[in-house]
Chain A
Amino acid sequence: MRQFISTLFLMLAIPLTLLAQKDLSTGRILDGHYKKNTAVTDVEIVGDRLRDYGLTYYHSFTVRDDDKLMQEVVDAFLADEPKAADKELTKMGGKLIAGMYRLKYDGNTNRFLFFKDMRLANQRQNAVMVIYMEGNISLKSLQRKFKK
């Protein structure tokens, strides 16, 4: 019975979080169809493990050494800009290095989308990374928590 309930919960919880990403262009990147790509590192965390951070959902996606897919990530992130309630973008020579969106969402839940191009951000990695997060937390609080 416990197994059934836990399965049922997961079946309900996963589509809900996926649904929240679906309105985003970046959601297409995060929807799971790149998971088996050898250039990708995909980390997805849901629920209580994130309580300390004030988050309910965390999903990071890093692409290494795949120029086409890296460009796809950059394009998807830029396409989501109009959906941002708040945003901070850092560009160098017209190229996006890093960015953050706080996305519009119902209720107290905040959604955040972070982006970083590690090729341009002095990290000497041929990689780009995007992180999507959800939680009942403000950006300032999130910053404080991650700074710890």
Chain B
Amino acid sequence: MKNDNKYLMEQELMEAFTYAEGADIGMPDVDAELLRVRQKAAKRRKKPSGIARIASIAAGIAVVFALGWYINSGVSETENLHADDSKSFCVAYVAGERMTDEQQIMDMMSEDIMNMNDGCDIIDTQLNDFFNE
């Protein structure tokens, strides 16, 4: 970019000198020419092309959509977990498979508790059959 600008400046200066020679008006004021060239170069500084601009807008929209989709998909998943109650959820994984059926999960909890209670009878029960007093 620096080189481009330098090149542009040189081009402009050459043009200016050539013009001065042709017009026979003597050497131009170099500082003034330099300033003019700089101003011109600044104007010529490349703005993003139309395609680049469209691409960046499209990328922005895509990011917004992706974020929206992500949030929404997460919400709909959790909504399935607690259809009528936003303050709770239940989820189970059985052999790596995700389960979201609330009733089934509550049944699994009951089964867990039962398993925790049962089967301790053979052991001398000091055995704190935890849930059985």
Contacts and interface: CB of A to CB of B under 8 A. Distances in A.
Contacts of B89: 10, 45-47
Contact size range, B = 35 or more
Main secondary structure, interface of B, reads mixed
B42 interface: no
A73 interface: no
B130 A41 contact: no
A147 B128 contact: no
Contact of B75 (A6, A47, A98): A6
B3 interface: no
Interface string A88-127: 1010100001101000000000000010101001110000
Given A48-B85, A49-B102, A42 B92 contact: yes
Nearest to B102: A49
Given A7-B78, A143-B130, A47 B105 contact: no
Name, among A13, A45, A116, the residue most crowded by chain B CB atoms within 10 Å (CB to CB). Answer: A45
B51 interface: no
Contacts of A9: 86-87
Interface string A136-148: 0000101110110
Contact of A98 (B85, B95, B127): B127
A146 B89 CA distance: 21
B95 A147 contact: no
B68 to A, nearest CB: 11
A37 B130 contact: no
Interface in B83-117: 85-96, 98, 102, 105-106, 108-109, 112-113, 115-117
A70 interface: no
Contacts of B29: none
A28 B64 CA distance: 35
Given A7-B71, A90-B127, A129-B115, A35 B96 contact: yes
Contacts of A39: 95
A16 to B, nearest CB: 13
B82 interface: yes
Contact of A40 (B71, B91, B93, B123): B93
A116 to B, nearest CB: 5
Contacts of B121: 122
A36 B85 contact: no
Interface of B: 71-72, 74-76, 78-79, 82, 85-96, 98, 102, 105-106, 108-109, 112-113, 115-123, 126-128, 130-133
10 contacts: A41-B93, A43-B90, A43-B112, A45-B88, A45-B106, A49-B102, A60-B112, A98-B123, A114-B116, A121-B119
